[in-house]
Amino acid sequence: MSHHTDPIVTTAQGAVRGLRQGDTNAFLNIPYAAPPRGAGRFESPQPHEPWDGVRDATVPGPNAPQSERKLGSVDMAPYFGTGWSRGEDYLTANVWTPAGANGDLPVMVFVHGGGFVAGSTRSALYDGSAFARDGVVLVTLNYRLGIAGFLDIPGAPANRGLLDVVAALGWVRENIAAFGGDPHNVTLFGQSAGATIVGGVLATAEAAGLFRRAIVQSGSGLGAFTTEQAARVTRAAAEDLGIEPHVDAFAEISDERLVEAASRLAGIDLQTGTHHDPLIGLSPFSLVLDTQPAESVAAGLSANVDLLIGTNTEEGNLYLVPVGKYATSTAGDVDDAAARAHPKPARLVETYRKARPDASFGELRSAIMGDALFGAGSWALTDAHTAHPESATYAYEFAWRSHALDEELGATHAVELPFVFDVAHLTQLHGPSALLGPDKPPADLAARMHATWVRFARTGNPGWDAYDDERRATMRIDAEWTQVDDPRSQERQAWR
């Protein structure tokens, strides 16, 4: 394509040349913070040096150091991407905007998931073209992962990956008008680890005023480790690497070795005298906070931010079905899941049995795992935000079932993302072991879901009744959309 038709935008750090794609301009790999090198990997994000001339923003850039992620027999490459694309200058954003946009469009900033150790803006699911087509400036960003991003290290600031996201929001505030966006109408949204980070940003005083709305897709307002729990992980990482648990020692270790060490940290017992493991043993990386985000939001942080929040009906299936553990689940597995998640496991199991009298052991186990990881922490965050009526709270439940993996995958974790980004047509999402399975989803589901997210970003109202602590109005999203009051009230009560 000839360069003279390609768009050039001047940011505070320098000019960037993007790609004209029909009516959309895409700008890839624009730095929002300095490259995290050496000791800088364990410091707060710093401003990027300005550059001379026009920086090429037409090809994807490097991403955060990570190991390749596999989840059993389901193809998650469109979600995780293809692993580590090396290069130090990876604290970058991608921007999609309508050609000719002039400064007043709603802005949406997406934080990817991947268990705090994987994922990037390169993943096929996070193509912002449909948002630009519909008059939104869409930003995706990379942030530090694993040990560099989230290990709580003496001498280093905590939650560095979250600080990266706040820095990216600062970059958006400063620069997005040049791409056609309204810096005062920013919606921060994320999924899984990215949604838990969004919940953490809601609870971060320094981020106040940088965004107006937030969407939390399958995150948790109760997903943070305490400093005591995090210190166990840090000790284990230092032992694995043969170093002292201090930032100066970690600063000497290569990215390769940090990534390898991170992948060996599974299975640390994080149960303490006062706290269970909020990630039930699935990951040693999360936010590290002695006050959970839901508690901070209850106390009034982000009271003026509109919130859309929800989970998928069968979140836990992703952790069982692709690894062959769903159909083989036993009563003992159900009890074990409850024991990892709850101080009164027997009562929890009894509640779930009563609420689901016909459920198999696999279904009960999945439901308890899904609520331990996402449900309880989303309910807590929803209730916390509802206590502050100066902004609105909306809830959804995504219930459309994928027939992947012999019809067992269901309405599992991550299955809503192709609909939000309106990329459900991508061929790599279809087939017996692909996320959306062998059959076509309902024709208008992606169009409607994507339009709903855009509507919320534009107006603060997704198109159904706001959530309050009496009715708990929730939109159940499937082939049909049905508003229900107080869904899953028995199970919800059990986590209080």
Residues with a catalytic annotation lie at 192, 315, 413
Q: State how far the Cα of 436 lies from the Cα of 484, in Å rounded to an integer.
A: 25
Q: Is the CB of residue 115 less than 8 Å from the CB of residue 408?
A: no
The bridge status of strand 137-141 relative to strand 19-21 is unpaired
Q: In Å, how far are 19, 160, 329, 452 from 134, measured between CA atoms?
A: 18, 33, 44, 11
Nearest CA to 41 out of 125, 163, 169, 217 is that of 163
Report angle CA 98, 215, 413 to the nearest 5 degrees. Answer: 105
Q: Is the CB of residue 332 less than 8 Å from the CB of residue 269?
A: no
Secondary structure (H, E, C), the chain = CCHHHCCEEEECCEEEECEEECCEEEEEEEECCCCCCHHHHHCCCCCCCCCCCEEECCCCCCCCCCCCCCECCEECHHHHCCCCCCCCCCCEEEEEEECCCCCCEEEEEEECCCCCCCCCCCCHHHCCHHHHHCCCEEEEECCCCHHHHHCCCCCCCCCHHHHHHHHHHHHHHHHHHHHCEEEEEEEEEEECHHHHHHHHHHCCHHHCCCCCEEEEECCCCCCCECHHHHHHHHHHHHHHHCCCCCHHHHCCCCHHHHHHHHHCCCCCCCCCCCCCCCCCCCCCCCCECCCCHHHHHHCCCCCCCEEEEEEECCHHHHHCHHHCCCCCCCHHHHHHHHHHHCCCHHHHHHHHHHHCCCCCHHHHHHHHHHHHHHHHHHHHHHHHHHCCCCCCEEEEEECCCECHHHHCCECCCCCCHHHHCCCCCCHHHCCCCECCCCCCCCCCHHHHHHHHHHHHHHHCCCCCCCCCCCCCEEEEECCCEEEEECCCHHHHHHCC
Instruction: Point out which residues pair with 26 in neighbouring strands.
Output: 19, 96
* Beta-carbon contacts of residue 129 (< 8 Å; ≥ 6 apart): 21, 24, 26, 96
